[in-house]
Amino acid sequence: MAAYILRRLLLIIPTLIGIMVINFALIQFVPGGPVEQVLAQLEGGGDAFDSFSGAASEIQDRGNTSGYTGAQGLPQEFIDELEAQFGFDKPPLERFLNMMWDYARFDFGESYFRSISVVDLVIEKMPVSITLGLWTTLFAYLISIPLGIRKAVRDGSSFDTWTSGVVIVAYAIPGFLFAILLLVLFAGGSYFQIFPLRGLTSPGWEDLSLIGKVLDYLWHITLPVLASTISAFAGLTLLTKNSFLDEIRKQYVVTAKAKGLTEGRVLYGHVFRNAMLIVISGFPALFVAVFFGGSLIIETIFSLDGLGRLIFEATVNRDYPVMFGTLFAFSLIGLVVGLLTDLTYVLVDPRIDFETRET
């Protein structure tokens, strides 16, 4: 097992480099970089996207030779200093190698526009993403696995039929639409004002008792977590049911029942280990998606300032240190979580031996 873990750890390095190379190369062809953002704000108070249309004719008419939309009327020396400040006076290859060397030492630099280090910025936004990611993943698995097992055992019954209807409806409703529905119904939209509209805590939260802080926190996260969980639990329930249903119909289950084993012993002593493998395999994708990226719409609707909004705003503003720093860190975490998933396979079913697999 140690050799397999070592191979997977070594494979993380080229995979991570490949992700960074592709994204860095693509970003070189995207207009509206940080220099253009600053120039556009200096010229008209907008952003670089406001001046894309008709840019070529404007540059020709006003004698702009810097190559930047929005640089009309600004001295070339200022443009050069701005490029040097952002590091664009160096060739792309050199900038990429310098960036990767810094990231290898976990030095993610400082945001272009916020005067704060990327690490501190991520830490500042982390509580929201931790709340949404961990609670959503926890509830999705706590609901989906028992429900999926029950549906598999009672396949074709009235319980299976009506729960399937609920699951399908939940899966079909977009997360943002369900979030808006929750706001309208329970956050003072048109009916009840039971839950707050925004934030993780109330004003004066620091002055509350420990129990008061916990209750206030749970009061604020109820609607966002519920909106995030609805689609995740639906897909996972169907996956669990189908996985257990496939195993229940196999010959070894019939043999175990013929030997006189109870249904619970057969289900949790034999079927569970095999059926849970496919469920566990979906954990990395669910965890990474919910924890790092899937919360953007939920954060926006419930006015939560988390990693989803941070990455989106950094992309719009072309804040490259934040963009590439979070991409590097989250890709690394995703790859490590994938390795942990393989190790979980072994814990669920000790018969799995990755050492004998050909790589």
Let me know if residue 330 belongs to a domain. yes
CATH number at residue 287: 1.10.3720.10
Q: Which of 127-136, 147-156, 224-233 has the highest mean pLDDT?
A: 147-156
Let me know if residue 4 belongs to a domain. no
Let me know if residue 231 belongs to a domain. yes
Are 252 and 211 in the same domain? yes
Instruction: Kindly report, residue by residue over 177-217, the tens digit of the pLDDT.
Output: 888 888 888 876 667 778 887 777 778 877 888 888 888 88
Residue 133: burial class (beta carbons within 10 Å; 0-12, 13-18, 19+):
buried
Residue 43 makes CB contacts below 8 A (sequence gap 6+) with 51, 70, 71, 72, 73, 74
Are 155 and 84 in the same domain? no
Give how far Cα 226 sits from Cα of 28, 169, 173, Å: 39, 15, 13
Are 182 and 77 in the same domain? no
Are 44 and 151 in the same domain? no
Instruction: Kindly report, residue by residue over 315-338, the tens digit of the pLDDT.
Output: 888 888 888 988 888 888 878 877
Please state, for a pLDDT cut of 90, what percent of the chain lies above it. Answer: 3
Are 150 and 83 in the same domain? no
Rounded Cα distance between 356 and 186, Å, is 55
Q: Which of 61, 94, 127 is the last residue of a domain?
A: 94
Amino acid 67: pLDDT: 56
Are 337 and 251 in the same domain? yes
* Cα separation of the two ends of the chain: 13
Let me know if residue 133 belongs to a domain. yes
Are 209 and 62 in the same domain? no
- Name the DSSP class of 187: B
Angle between helices 92-104 and 2-27 (to 10 degrees): 140
pLDDT over threshold 80, residue 73: no
Rounded Cα distance between 346 and 174, Å, is 35
Are 218 and 338 in the same domain? yes
Are 80 and 122 in the same domain? no
Please compute, for residue 187, the number of CA atoms within 13 A of its CA located in the half-sphere on the CB side: 20
pLDDT over threshold 60, residue 314: yes
- Are the CB atoms for 40 and 51 separated by under 8 Å? yes
Residue 31 makes CB contacts below 8 A (sequence gap 6+) with 48, 52, 69
Are 165 and 296 in the same domain? yes
Tell me how crowded residue 131 is: count the other CB atoms within 10 A of its CB.
20
User: What DSSP string runs through 83-109?
Assistant: HHHHTTTS-HHHHHHHHHHHHHTT---
Q: What value does the mean pLDDT of the chain take? A: 77
Are 193 and 56 in the same domain? no
The domain tally of the chain equals 2
Residue 280 makes CB contacts below 8 A (sequence gap 6+) with 341, 344, 345, 348
Domain extent for 69: 31-94
Buried b (16+ CB within 10 A) or exposed e, 177-212: ebbbebbeebbeeeeeeebbeeebbeeeeeeeeeee
Are 149 and 70 in the same domain? no
Let me know if residue 99 belongs to a domain. no
Let me know if residue 101 belongs to a domain. no
Let me know if residue 102 belongs to a domain. no
User: What DSSP string runs through 112-142?
Assistant: TTTSSBHHHHHHHHHHHHHHHHHHHHHHHHH
Let me know if residue 50 belongs to a domain. yes
Read off the pTM. 0.70
Tokens of 169: 């409806």
Amino acid 292: pLDDT: 59
Tokens of 314: 């950094």
Angle between helices 320-348 and 92-104 (to 10 degrees): 50
Amino acid 194: pLDDT: 82
348 pLDDT band, cuts 50/70/90, is low
